[in-house]
Structure 1
Amino acid sequence: MTEVAVALAIAAAWCFAAAARLQHHAVRESAYGRRTRSPQYRRLLRDRRWLTGLLMTGGGAVLHAAALALAPLTVIQPLGVLAVVITAVWNTRVDRTARWRSVWPAVAATTTGAGAFAGLAASRVAPTGVPAGAELRAVLLVAGVMVLCAAIGVRRRSEWGARVRSLACATGAGAAFGLVSVLMRAGFQHVAAEGIVAVVVIDAVAVAAALVAGGWFFQYAYATGPPEVAMACVTVIDPLVAVGTGLVLLGEGAGLGLASALGSAACAALALSGVIALSLTVPPSGPPRQRPASAVPARPTPRNTPCPTPPSPPLRAPARFGSSSAPTPTRPTSTERPTSRTASPTAWPDEATRSM
């Protein structure tokens, strides 16, 4: 069953990468041109690409959960970093945002550090009961991190650049998703020990709120930066928050020695350095692609100059039939007598009298 679980985890990574690409393009088009670079959610709810990305995110979560049910965490969790590699390769090859030679060291550092941290921490974790008030402390700690990230990345008039804002929003999303893992772990332990009690219901409500907050931060990260940076940051921050909270607040770090702690810290530092290098290598997202305009440029019109209008002929009242007020044709100013070739089709009155 391990082979099936590995295949499911790889398929989940592909789903997450495709969802990141689809939602990033949809959010960038909805947010481009706005002063705050914030996504327009009413427009996104009508965008097929964004909805398809949302469905693929849900499908990837289901596949990842099924893989965790069939294989140990130490085997499945490191495979989640494949989404970073797939997203980076996809965007560098298709969008030509950056050269792969300049991107792959940062991607390698991110995936290696995150995978090694998850594997090392999971192998040293000792399952214990949930201490009293651990969920509340975890919620308050992560809520403080999200407020700080929102102040940097989501504020209307932010002095920070696009890269810092994207990293801040992705950090808030990763912290929220890490809190989801912590609360789900604590809720499962409560159900196994006491059944469905009030604490389990509160944990479920907190999980739903954290999922909404994480998705909100993720859309802002897409609107202010490239998708590979957002995906890499979330992939790194999520296990850092989940494992760190479990070790410190849930009491799962009893079997973690000094060497394991130093190794985990080194892996976390490597992963974070990879994310920072990736954000500096990949340029920020520019304007969305527009359809080519017409080949013939429009003639510019001056703003404050009125368009000249041709003079209209004077209006004359229609003459009644048989009245003497009918206008008579005027004689031409030329003294030459009209010939048969150049004669006017209308005969003048005096010439008609002479011919008679």
Structure 2
Amino acid sequence: MFAVVLSVLAAAMFATSAAMQQRAARRAAPDVHDRALPVRVFLLVRRLVKDRWWLTGWILNVFAFAAHAVALHVGSLTVVQALLVSQLLFAMLTIRRPPARAWLGTAAVCTGLALLVIARPSAPHTLNRGDAGPAVLVAAGVMVLFIGVAHVLPSKTEAKLRGALAGVAAGVCTCLTAVFVVLVTDTLARDGVWGLASDWATIGVIASTTASGLLTQDAFAAGSLPTALTAISIADPLASAVFDATVFHAGWRGVLWWPWSPIVVIALLIAGVALLAAARVQDRTPVPVG
């Protein structure tokens, strides 16, 4: 029960933090959205770190991460990760008069992701590092593709689409961070701290963590909070599932992962995204200045 309470608390704080940071990013975006991608991201970050609203959200995100870590320590990984998906529902509370289709879409996405998380395999006892390199390159290529498509679209393109594409890239990058963490902890267990100096995954952790943070803020700046957060929340577990199957060679839990379950997950995610895309939502409160 303690893990359940911490998981729900972490989900609420993650959602609130995302809402605060997204509002700050949206306020800073109009002056930089026409710049080239590297310049835009640099200018966006420079403005955000001076924004008290964004900094408060970042501090709240740190507390959320701590609560999530404690929940993982005292509770089941499956239960904690499934409950963390509820941050999408908490994010809806930041929306002004959300329509019924938005609630239905969010519930469908949460249900699909929860089923995917529950059915995901446990981490394998052995790791074939030879499979990791090519898979990381493919994932990085997919991430770059989504970034490129998001930023070559005409400026008149609907912001939701740009935010969704940037959110997918951020979600894939978040998955890469988790993969690098697995590789780094494997090196740490085998070779100790000194082994990290020669492990390419150590650099990967630093690079992917930085990139995922920047991409997340870019996704927040491009579109609405439900769009960006949904894209990130879908891309991360789906990419993780692919890595589980191809790199870690871990099987799905037979009791929970019936033959028709992938169809159910895909159907729920598609239905949820379609409903959210059709819903017109607004922030509950205006973004404060300063």
State the TM-score bracket (shorter-chain normalisation). Answer: 0.7 to 0.9
**1:115 maps to which residue?**
114
**1:315 maps to which residue?**
none
Could you say if the C-alpha distance between residues 19 and 213 of structure 1 is closer, same or farther in structure 2, counting changes exceeding 3 Å? same
**2:59 maps to which residue?**
55
Could you say if the C-alpha distance between residues 182 and 278 of structure 1 is closer, same or farther in structure 2, counting changes exceeding 3 Å? same
Larger CA deviation: 275-284 vs 177-186? 275-284
Larger CA deviation: 107-116 vs 190-199? 190-199
**1:102 maps to which residue?**
101
Deviations 1:36-81 (A, max 9, x none): 3856222211100111111222221221122111112111111111
1:266-345 → structure 2 map (5 Å cutoff): 266-283=264-281
Query: Structure 1 or 2: larger helix share?
Result: 2
* Counterpart residue type for residue 209 of structure 1: A
- TM-score normalised over the length of structure 1: 0.71
Deviations 1:253-277 (A, max 9, x none): 2766996464135314422431342
Matched residue SS, 2:120? helix
Q: Which has the larger radius of gyration?
A: 1
Identity of aligned residues (%): 28
Distance 1:19 1:258 in 2: 33
Is 1:88 aligned with 2:85? no
Matched residue SS, 1:32? helix
* Counterpart residue type for residue 48 of structure 1: R
Cα RMSD, aligned residues only? 2.8
Unpaired stretches in structure 1, ≥5 consecutive residues:
292-356
- TM-score normalised over the length of structure 2: 0.86
Distance 1:218 1:239 in 2: 16
Unpaired stretches in structure 2, ≥5 consecutive residues:
none
Matched residue SS, 2:95? helix
Residue 11 of structure 1, CA deviation:
1.3
Q: Is the 8 A contact 1:121 1:264 kept in 2?
A: no
Residue 117 of structure 1, CA deviation:
0.7
Could you say if the C-alpha distance between residues 201 and 15 of structure 1 is closer, same or farther in structure 2, counting changes exceeding 3 Å? farther
Is 1:170 aligned with 2:152? no
* Counterpart residue type for residue 119 of structure 1: I
**1:146 maps to which residue?**
143
Residue 137 of structure 1, CA deviation:
2.0
Distance 1:31 1:275 in 2: 24
Q: 1:43 aligns with which of 43, 47, 71?
A: 47
Could you say if the C-alpha distance between residues 209 and 290 of structure 1 is closer, same or farther in structure 2, counting changes exceeding 3 Å? closer
**2:183 maps to which residue?**
186
Aligned residues: 280
Deviations 1:289-320 (A, max 9, x none): 699xxxxxxxxxxxxxxxxxxxxxxxxxxxxx
Could you say if the C-alpha distance between residues 207 and 261 of structure 1 is closer, same or farther in structure 2, counting changes exceeding 3 Å? farther
Residue 155 of structure 1, CA deviation:
3.8
Could you say if the C-alpha distance between residues 20 and 218 of structure 1 is closer, same or farther in structure 2, counting changes exceeding 3 Å? same
Q: 1:67 aligns with which of 59, 66, 71?
A: 71
**1:341 maps to which residue?**
none
**1:24 maps to which residue?**
22
